[in-house]
Amino acid sequence: MTRPRRIVVLTGAGISAESGINTFRDNGGLWENQRMEDVATPEAFARDPQLVQRFYNARRAQLKDVMPNPAHLALAEFEKTFDGGFLLVTQNVDDLHDRAGSHTLIHMHGELKKSRCTRTQKIHEQMADITDNTLCDCCGTPTLRPHIVWFGETPLMMDEIYQALDQCDLFLSIGTSGHVYPAAGFVEVARQAGARTVEINKEPSLGIDHFAEAIQGLASVEVPAFLRTL
């Protein structure tokens, strides 16, 4: 097998599961006992902003109690020594790749530790809870929302992602169920670019047939092992 020169890695909630952050497919379609429709859509925010803010406040607070696991760390370590092109795209809104030391990283679904002003669209660092009394730094009004891409909204930095997919020779998908588009379609783009396509997941994903290779197992074990083979 020739050594890849340009790699795109896609991660999903499964890579953070062993750090103690629940996925939602493993949880009967619920994320921390909430239906996605109630907390992760613009309609939900318009209907009940306090519920949505409380949900993301709790997810943000949870980050203090979790650590990157060997899968996050192996990706960051690999990136440091790899001399080709490398892009890590995560669907996760946690900060575990950042804390592991990953550098070329796109959070396509946003980040828990950021908020966005709904008036100016400015993005702010957000460590504390957002409440009815939290004022936005840019306009001094209580207009902050979580910097999260909700269902029905457009993911971030898609041009950069598709450009990297068009040029990659290895596409590696880790811990994602293949239900959420456009991420679930990345494998097809990479395949058309002629890339080797590999899935690492605890169980076969919905899109497994699109991958040339699939490794079933825990990310903390299989990701470091796979990266050692490159």
Catalytic (active site) residue 109:
yes
Binding mask 96-125 for ligand NAD (x = CB under 6 A): -------------x----------------
CA dist., res. 79 & res. 75, Å (int): 6
Q: Which of helix, strand or coil describes residue 147?
A: strand
Q: Does 179 bind ligand NAD (CB under 6 A)?
A: yes
Q: Does 94 bind ligand NAD (CB under 6 A)?
A: yes
Q: Does 202 bind ligand NAD (CB under 6 A)?
A: yes
In this structure, are residues 155 and 108 in contact, taking their beta carbons and an 8 Å threshold?
yes
Cβ proximity to ligand NAD: between 83 and 228 the closer is: 228
In this structure, are residues 150 and 181 in contact, taking their beta carbons and an 8 Å threshold?
no
CA dist., res. 230 & res. 227, Å (int): 5
- Nearest in space to 38 (alpha carbons), one of 27, 26, 14, 54: 54
Binding mask 12-51 for ligand NAD (x = CB under 6 A): xxx-xxx--x-xxxx----x--------------------
Token couple for 186: 């990345």
Cα separation values, 19 from 72, 114, 167, Å? 10, 21, 32
- Nearest in space to 59 (alpha carbons), one of 123, 178, 148: 148
Cβ proximity to ligand NAD: between 6 and 113 the closer is: 113
Nearest position to ligand NAD, beta carbon: 14
The correct pick among 126, 173, 176, 197 for binding ligand NAD (CB under 6 A) is: 176
For the annotated catalytic residues, the residue numbers are: 109
Interface with ligand NAD (CB under 6 A): 12-14, 16-18, 21, 23-26, 31, 91-94, 109, 175-177, 179-180, 201-203, 205, 218-219
